[in-house]
Structure 1
Amino acid sequence: MAAEEEAKSYLTPNTNKLETLDGRILYDTATIFSATALDRNSLILQHCLTLAKFHIATLCNADFIYEQAKERYDRAIDWFNKLAKGTVVLTSLPRIILDDTNSDRQPFSSGSRTKFNHDY
C-alpha cells in the first residue's frame, strides 16, 4: 500500500503549479493503478514491487543486504522522477488531457503592490 501511494505521488499532476501546464505528459494515475491482471503495465508493476520490497526490508531485522535494496529503491525513484518529468515516456500508459479553453490562468501577470504608508 505504501509503495503504491509513493508511486502515485510521483505521477499525480499538481494542477496548481504552472510547470504542470507546460506541455509535459500527465498520466491518469487512477486508471493506471486500478488495472488488474494482464492489464497492468509490467514496468510500473516492477518498480512498485521494488518500492514495496524496500519498505518491507526497512521493517525486517533479519540478515539482509540493505545496500542492494537501497540501490534498487533509488533507481526506482529516479525512474519515477524521469517518467513524471517526461524524460522517460511510456506510450502505453493512459494520459490526462487538460482542457485549456476554460482555464482562468494567464501565462503572465503584471501589477504592483499597494503603496505602504506609515500613519502615525
Structure 2
Amino acid sequence: MVYQRTNRISEEIKKIISNLILNELKDPRISTLTSIVDVEVTRDLRYANIFVSVYGSEEEKENTLMALKKASGFIRKEMGKNLKLRYTPEPIFKMDVSIEKGIYISNLINKINKKENLDENTENK
C-alpha cells in the first residue's frame, strides 16, 4: 500500500517538474533538451530524488544541474501547491546517465555487427 502511494506521488512530482522546466523556469542555463527520467520519493516522503537527463555537452549538463539546484526552493513551493500532502518532499536533483550508456552500448553492438558482416563477406569470397 505504501509502495503504491510513493509511486503515485513520484509520478505526480515528475509531471509537475517536467511542466515547470517546460513552462515556468526561465533560467538560460537550463538546456532545452532536459528531461526528467525518474523520481524516487523516500518512504517517509521527506525527499524526492529527481533524476535528470540532459542531451548535450558536459558543460550544459553541469549548468542545467546547477540551475535546477538553485531553483529547488521555487520547485518545492510549486510542488507543494499541486500536491495535497502534509509535507512537501525536498527535491534532490541528480544526473541520470542511463540514456548515454544505452547509446554507447547500442553503438558497440552496431560495431560488432558490422565487423561480423565484414568477416562473413570476406570468408564467402
Same fold (TM over 0.5): no
Between the two structures, name the one with larger relative contact order (CA 8 Å, sep ≥ 6).
1
TM-score, normalised relative to structure 1:
0.29
TM-score, normalised relative to structure 2:
0.28
| Structure with the larger strand share | 2
